[in-house]
Amino acid sequence: MSRLIVISNRVSAPTAEQPSAQGGLAVALTAALREADGIWFGWSGQTGETGDLKFETYDGVTSATIDLPEQDVEEYYDGYANRTLWPLFHYRLGLTEFERDFQGGYERVNRLFADVISPHIEPNDLVWVHDYHMIPLGWMLRQQGIKSRLGFFLHIPWPPARLLIALPEHRRLVEALFGYDVVGFQTQEWLETFHDYVEREMGGTIGENGDVTVGGRTIKAIACPIGIDAKEFIANANGPTAQATHERMMESVTGRDLIVGVDRLDYSKGIEERFNGYQRYLETRPEMRTNVSLLQIAPPSRATVQSYQEIRATLDALSGRINGAFAEIDWVPLRYVNRGLPRDVLAGAYRAARVGLVTPLRDGMNLVAKEFVAAQDPEDPGVLILSRFAGAAEQLTEALLINPYSPDEMADAIEQALAMPPDERIARWRKMYDNVVNEDVIWWRKRFTDVLTAVEPVAA
Ligand code: ADQ
């Protein structure tokens, strides 16, 4: 068996300081790393003089992290990753900042990673690089003479060619992807937009079995949707904390139907549009008004970036306005919580909800949609309202799929969800549940690494 090397911006393997790995990705990769005696490389999250990699082995998994100087964090992480690529890849050209310094920092940090990691890579290793922070890394590892199999997975959408060309160095960025052997996208749609760029801008060709060829170099490009750790999540949803949360929530809504939204506070998640849709529901169905309650959980993220400060201020104001306009002395329409919650509490909140409202304007996948499905009571499941612009909509076709930009469509879907008879709820939920359980995060990891294992390493 080949050893697995994982490289991503941050490492979420368990350590002595943080012994419980958080989230599906951490769980899936940690298990694989443990089996394959692998290493997970990334930024420590600390700023300071860049020194050597710090290795730590905890519970059979080795992580190796490095500090980054403040300027690198500003230009590479806050800058190119979060102020250039993130908005552009989520179709938000108006929020995208184009600064040559950002791009310089991005290349510098990727080169640093290539320099410090390449001595630790052995020829037979499977190297799996994650996400938009690290697109050029494969190419840079090749320049260091690395001939091992290199895979890359993009967790966010791939933008249409006509948008991507707004990035001054778009060609250079995409060419760097050809340093990998396998490139994975969340959905068929993002794979097709990638194909389109390759044909249109690079004169490349798309062949059989995912082969993509440009100027004599052929790589595999695949759609490989990420899943959740369904087993763990179902166990969570049935555990004592989830049950206690469920009860506490049911008491708090006193017989009303609960609608729940859970997101990192990010403009791509469509929380503002969700609030507008909910407001439209309240305005247009006055007789139904006090029968519902929306709980929105949204822990702040990337707070140093201005567009995130702005969306936060917008949501603070909007939630205040909605409550000011509609609340009664014994009822508030919206509870808005800016905090992260433990996963078992989250599971209880999903299960208590009659409706899950997942309305990103664009999302690579969206795991909250899958967690909501996994957490439901099989005999009395809630209804998922899902944006058709989330990657998850390719798999969760039995959700009520909506256009999140339309407050009317959202209000209609809320009405339909709240009135849905139990047999329809169960039938829709069952199909989604089967998908969430069958195509879970272990399935995803295996599918990607199987494709990567099957490629011929670059000739020595
Ligand atoms: P994210 O944009 O972070 O991930 P998402 O897939 O929804 O989005 O995952 C968020 C995770 O954070 C979920 O597991 C959720 O439970 C958790 N979370 C959110 N709010 C929380 C809260 N208040 N408390 C605790 N946990 C909370 C990126 C891409 C996605 C893609 C994933 C994985 O943007 O499209 O699905 O990577 O590939």
Question: Which H, E and C letters describe the chain, residue by residue?
Answer: CCCEEEEEEECCCCCCCCCCCCHHHHHHHHHHHHHHCCEEEEEEEEECCCCCCEEEEECCEEEEEEEECHHHHHHHHHHHHHHHHHHHHCCCHHHCCCCHHHHHHHHHHHHHHHHHHHHHCCCCCEEEEECHHHCCHHHHHHHCCCCCEEEEECCCCCCCHHHHCCCCCHHHHHHHHCCCCEEEECCHHHHHHHHHHHHHHHCCEECHHHEEEECCEEEEEEECCCCCCHHHHHHHHHCHHHHHHHHHHHHHHCCCEEEEEECCECHHHCHHHHHHHHHHHHHHCCCCHHHEEEEEECCECCCCCHHHHHHHHHHHHHHHHHHHHHCECCECCEEEECCCCCHHHHHHHHHHCCEEEECCCCECCCHHHHHHHHHCCCCCCCEEEEECCEHHHHCCCCCEEECCCCHHHHHHHHHHHHHCCHHHHHHHHHHHHHHHHHCCHHHHHHHHHHHHHHCCCCCC
Of the residues 232, 262, 339, which should be mutated to test ligand 1's pocket, given the most ligand atoms within 8 Å of the CB? 262
Q: Ligand 1 atom 27: the closest Cα is on which residue?
A: 340
Q: What is the pLDDT of residue 18?
A: 77
Place of tokens 């003089």: 49
Q: Give catalytic residues, as residue numbers.
A: 155, 363
Asked if residues 226 and 365 have their Cβ atoms less than 8 Å apart, the reply is yes
Amino acid at 296: Q
| Same domain flag for 188 and 43 | yes
Of the residues 341, 366, 439, which should be mutated to test ligand 1's pocket, given the most ligand atoms within 8 Å of the CB? 366
Asked if residues 79 and 101 have their Cβ atoms less than 8 Å apart, the reply is yes
Place of tokens 């490009």: 221
Q: How far is the CA of 366 from the centre of ligand 1 (A)?
A: 6
> By CB neighbour count within 10 A (0-12 exposed, 13-18 middle, 19+ buried), where does 134 fall?
buried
Residue 282 lies in a domain: yes
Q: Ligand 1 atom 8: the closest Cα is on which residue?
A: 366
Q: What is the pLDDT of residue 289?
A: 87
> Which two tokens mark 216?
């004599």
Q: Give the CATH number, domain containing residue 47.
A: 3.40.50.2000
> Which two tokens mark 202?
């690079």
- Phi, psi dihedral angles at 99 (to 5 degrees): -130, 130
Does residue 45's CB lie within 6 angstroms of at least one atom of ligand 1? no
Residue 122 lies in a domain: yes
Q: How far is the CA of 371 from the centre of ligand 1 (A)?
A: 10
Does residue 10's CB lie within 6 angstroms of at least one atom of ligand 1? no
Q: How far is the CA of 298 from the centre of ligand 1 (A)?
A: 11
Does residue 367's CB lie within 6 angstroms of at least one atom of ligand 1? yes
| Same domain flag for 33 and 181 | yes
Return left, alpha or beta for 50; rule: phi > 0 is left, psi -120 to 50 is alpha, else beta. beta
Q: What is the pLDDT of residue 21?
A: 62
Residues 6+ apart with CB under 8 A from 345: 241, 242, 245
Q: How far is the CA of 367 from the centre of ligand 1 (A)?
A: 6
Asked if residues 260 and 387 have their Cβ atoms less than 8 Å apart, the reply is no
| Same domain flag for 89 and 200 | yes
| Same domain flag for 50 and 119 | yes
> pTM, whole model, 2 decimals?
0.97
| Same domain flag for 175 and 304 | no
| Same domain flag for 366 and 223 | no
For residue 119, CA distances in Å to 97, 108, 114, 116 come to 35, 18, 9, 7
Does residue 340's CB lie within 6 angstroms of at least one atom of ligand 1? yes
Counting from 1 in the atom list of ligand 1, the atom nearest the Cα of 337 is 23
Q: Supply angle C-alpha 393, 399, 403, rounded to 5.
A: 65
Q: What is the pLDDT of residue 24?
A: 66
Residue 460 lies in a domain: no
Of the residues 153, 367, 372, 395, which should be mutated to test ligand 1's pocket, given the most ligand atoms within 8 Å of the CB? 367
Does residue 168's CB lie within 6 angstroms of at least one atom of ligand 1? no
Counting from 1 in the atom list of ligand 1, the atom nearest the Cα of 157 is 35
Does residue 256's CB lie within 6 angstroms of at least one atom of ligand 1? no
Q: How far is the CA of 215 from the centre of ligand 1 (A)?
A: 37
Q: What tens-digit pLDDT sequence spans the chain (460 residues)? A: 889 999 999 998 888 877 766 666 787 788 889 888 899 999 999 999 887 899 999 988 999 999 999 999 999 999 999 999 999 999 999 999 999 999 999 999 999 999 999 999 999 999 999 999 999 999 999 999 999 999 999 999 999 999 999 999 999 999 999 999 999 999 999 999 999 999 999 999 999 889 999 999 999 999 999 999 999 899 999 999 999 988 988 888 888 999 999 999 999 999 999 999 999 999 999 999 889 999 999 999 999 999 999 999 999 999 999 999 999 999 999 999 999 899 899 999 999 999 999 999 999 999 999 999 999 999 999 999 999 999 999 999 999 999 999 999 999 999 999 999 999 999 999 999 999 999 999 999 999 999 999 998 766 5
Q: How many residues does the chain have?
A: 460
Does residue 368's CB lie within 6 angstroms of at least one atom of ligand 1? yes
Q: Ligand 1 atom 23: the closest Cα is on which residue?
A: 340
| Same domain flag for 202 and 263 | no
| Same domain flag for 160 and 207 | yes
Q: 14-18 long-range CB contacts below 8 Å, 24 or more apart?
A: 14/58, 14/59, 14/61, 15/56, 15/58, 15/63, 16/56, 16/58
Total domains, the chain: 2
| Same domain flag for 87 and 198 | yes
| Same domain flag for 206 and 294 | no
| Same domain flag for 176 and 111 | yes
**What domain range includes position 83?**
4-227+442-454
Name beta bridge partners: 258. 293
| Same domain flag for 67 and 203 | yes
Residue 459 lies in a domain: no
Does residue 342's CB lie within 6 angstroms of at least one atom of ligand 1? no
